[in-house]
Every structure is written in structure tokens, then in C-alpha cells.
Amino acid sequence: MSQSNLYIDIGNSAIKWRTSDSKVFLEDIENFSITALNQSSTAWLSAVAHSDIVQDITTHFETINIIKTQKIFGNLTLSYDDPSMLGADRFLAMLGAINHFPNNPLLVIDIGSAITFDVIDKNGLHHGGLIMPGIKALRGSFEKFKTSDLSVSLKGYANNTDDAWKQGTYSMMISAINHQIESFQSNFSDGVVTICGGKVKEIKKELPKSIELFDNLVLDGLESYSHSMG
């Protein structure tokens, strides 16, 4: 078996994984098979759900490191009194952002099933965060209008109810994200906005050009965490 580390991010709806020198693999939860994972002796794992898959992965490797959120790790100090209440994905996304921009205030945005916002100052002190529904939750939030269509684009006002609901929920999401970016930038003139998640490339045209886009900030954080642990 290869001795390289394998980094695995189990989200609500998909799994991503990579080694330090491999491309990123992505699979929907319902289609995932453990045989798809790269061979490795050691795995580093972030999981926000799917304990059954976590259990299968645990038995698949010689060494498995399941990341738990810590109050203080490296240059990051969390504001939560109880760090276990902050998801490992948010914790690792912050570590990944700090690794990319170690001397800047940061707004870390992760667009997934939920959308999370976390603010960190240049000293690594976490100022807190926000959680809001992602586009799937927004689209399904009102029984009369709910839809499974997750397409995203702004086309102005709609002339039918289905499109009006899709446009309205998308506009709500984009407005909330842009408001948080503007608020952060007004408080931190030298701040960097990092944004990651499955919908990033589709919505980037609606966001300020100054933001830094990442496909795999949680995996970056996992790798940074593993290096810190030696």
C-alpha cells in the first residue's frame, strides 16, 4: 500500500477525497463505494453526517484520523465556548483559509447544503459566524412552491410562478452572501474573502471580483491539519 495520506471530506450530499499529489475525486453519497478510495495506509477524515460511511471507512485503513473541532489549533482560536458545536467542516475550512492567507483577516464562506460564514482576524481569532439555508433548503422551504430544481441564475423578474420562486430564492441567497461580504470588507479593509462549495463556479458572476474561490478548502484544511500533527 502507498504510504501517502488520504484526505476525505464527507458532506451532507457528497464525498470528496484526494492524496497530496492526486486530483480531487467527487461522488454523490448515494453512489459512493468505499472501493473507489485511493489505497493508503493513513486517512484523515472530516464528516458532518453519514456515520455508516464513516464506520466503513474506519475499518478500511490501518490508521484513521477523524477530525474533531478544537478550541485552539495552530494559529486559529475559536470564539465558541463549546467547540464541539462548530462543525469540523467549518473548522477545517478556516484552517485551509489561514494556510492560504496567514496574515490577513478572513471571511470564510462555504456554500453547501447550508451556507456558513466565519470571520477571523489577522491574529487568527475567530469572531463568530452565521449559518443560513442553502439553495436546496430554500427551494423546498414553502410547500406551495417547493421544487427540486437547483438551477441558479438571475434573469430578472419572472412571468410564471415556478420561475418567480426559483428567481426569488436565488436572489435571496445571493443578496445574503453579498451583504456579508460588504459588511466584512467595511470592517476589515485588508481582509480576504474566501469562498468554497459546490455552487461556487455557477454563482461567482454574481459576487465581487475580489473574492478568492477555492474548490476544496476543507481538504486543504485537512492537509494543513495533518502536517501540523507531524
28, 81, 82, 89: the active-site residue: 89
pLDDT of residue 18: 93
Which fold does the domain 5-66 belong to in CATH?
Nucleotidyltransferase; domain 5 (3.30.420)
**What span, in angstroms and rounded, lies between the C-alpha atoms of 7 and 148?**
31
Look-up of cell digits 428567481: 167
* Helix (H) or strand (E) run with residue 213 in it: strand 212-214
Collapsed DSSP state (helix, strand, coil) of residue 78: coil
Query: Would the CATH topology of 5-66 be identical to that of 72-228?
Result: yes
Q: 170 CB contacts (<8 Å, ≥6 apart)?
A: 135, 152, 153, 154
Asked if 89 is an active-site residue, the reply is yes
Is 123 assigned a ligand-binding role in the annotation?
no
CATH architecture of the domain covering 72-228: 2-Layer Sandwich (3.30)
pLDDT in tens, 90-141: 999 999 999 999 999 999 999 988 999 999 999 999 999 999 999 999 999 9
**What span, in angstroms and rounded, lies between the C-alpha atoms of 142 and 145?**
6
Nearest residue to 61 (alpha-carbon basis) of 78, 76, 45, 48: 45
Domain ranges of the chain: 5-66, 72-228
Residue 201 scores a pLDDT above 90: no
Mean pLDDT of 40-63: 88
Is 81 assigned a ligand-binding role in the annotation?
no
Phi first, then psi: what are they for 145, rounded to 5°? -115, -5
Q: 94 CB contacts (<8 Å, ≥6 apart)?
A: 76, 106, 108, 118, 120, 126, 221
Is 140 assigned a ligand-binding role in the annotation?
no
pLDDT of residue 3: 58
pLDDT of residue 2: 44
**What span, in angstroms and rounded, lies between the C-alpha atoms of 204 and 112?**
14
133 torsion bin: left (phi>0), alpha (psi -120 to 50), beta (else):
beta
pLDDT of residue 1: 38
pLDDT in tens, 22-48: 789 999 998 999 888 887 889 999 998
Q: Where are the alpha helices (DSSP H) in 3-134?
A: 51-58, 88-100
Nearest residue to 197 (alpha-carbon basis) of 58, 48, 50, 66: 48
Parallel/antiparallel/unpaired status of strands 126-133 and 63-66: unpaired
pLDDT in tens, 70-85: 999 999 999 999 999 9
Look-up of cell digits 474573502: 193
Is 11 assigned a ligand-binding role in the annotation?
yes
